[in-house]
Amino acid sequence: MGSSVTPSPAPSADFLAVFRSHADAGGAMAFADFMRLALYDPQVGYYRRALRRVGYGGGTDFFTASTSGPVFGELVVAACTALLRGRDPRDVTFVEIGAEPGEPATAGAGGGVLNGVAHPFGAARTVRVGEPLALSGPCVIFSNELFDAQPFRRFVFRREGWRELGVTLREGGLQSIEMPRPPAALPAGTLPPAAPEGYVIDAPLAAAALLEQIAAQPWTGLFVACDYGKSWPELSEACPTGTARAYHRHTQSNDLLARPGEQDLTCHVCWDWLAAVLDRHGFADTRVDSQETFWVRHAAAFIAQTSAAEATRFSRKKLSLLQLLHPAHLGQKFQVLHAWRDA
């Protein structure tokens, strides 16, 4: 089945049972299928387990902008209200897709970006993993680090062409392999015709498919997605080892097969692919800004008011605002894709 690497630490017995039940006759599966089990399987999936993933406390694995507390939600409200093009926010439903379960944002552990935040919207709701989207009418559709957590396919270039990477079980451990069969059908232009030997592309196709589901529903208004990603030229020409990584207890790792169901798996989204989905579904003014640019451009009044109010002290709110805006922190590490669709 091709080359392999040193086995990762043995997964749990529960995960092994689920893996075996989904593997092919040779005991293998494509990496995207492994990731779908590791993150979203109802029995053993990382995002289906009742645990606290986000925050700075013990047992957490990573932090996001929402970890900054309610100031992140206040920025979201200010920017989205400014982008409503004169539409009365009382006529709009704010929908957050992919909100973390658990404690509210005011406790710094996710649970919905508007929890504990005053907002002008007529209604607000969250859509969590496994819940139907059911989007209609005037909306603000918002997500924070939703698309980077969707299963992605991994490919490596060999002299004979692109090979899909997969996972198999050997000697009680999981190993990365090159699948023996050619990659399943891919959308045109997914992979370049050639690349340097051994070049790896982590292709976030499921992220684009999820956005297709969101954009195809009968709603109008504003789409805003905070995430981290790259352009297609960057992914296909400037990332020779791919962009996939794992997070466990605030430590980044390249061991994607360790602790399945107990660690986060992620890769950079392809902004070009997501923007193309929005364009196909009638969105206009589609653009990607750095998080710093987006907040400064669309929430300037809130930033100025908060900075003035906190000018004489170094409060937690001021620190959170600096973390969200400063280019050395989250300001440049994250980007915001936003677009508008009329009726």
| 3-state SS string for 122-174 | CEEEEECCCCCCCCCEEEEEEEECCHHHCCCEEEEEECCEEEEEEEEEECCEE
Domains and CATH numbers, the chain: 13-341 (3.40.50.12710)
For the chain, the average pLDDT equals: 86
% residues pLDDT > 90 (the chain)? 64
Bridge partners, residue 269, by sequence: 229
A 10 A CB-CB count for 269 gives: 28
Averaged over 11-37, what is the pLDDT?
Answer: 95
Q: Sign of the C-alpha dihedral, residues 135, 116, 229, 59?
A: negative
Q: How much is the pLDDT for 307?
A: 80
**Residue 67 pLDDT class (50, 70, 90 cuts):** low
Collapsing DSSP to helix, strand or coil, 271 comes out as: helix
Bridge partners, residue 138, by sequence: 220
* Residue-wise pLDDT tens digits, 217-245: 999 999 999 999 999 999 999 999 999 99
Confidence check: pLDDT of 105 > 60: no
* Residue-wise pLDDT tens digits, 199-223: 999 999 999 999 999 999 999 999 9
**Residue 1 pLDDT class (50, 70, 90 cuts):** very low
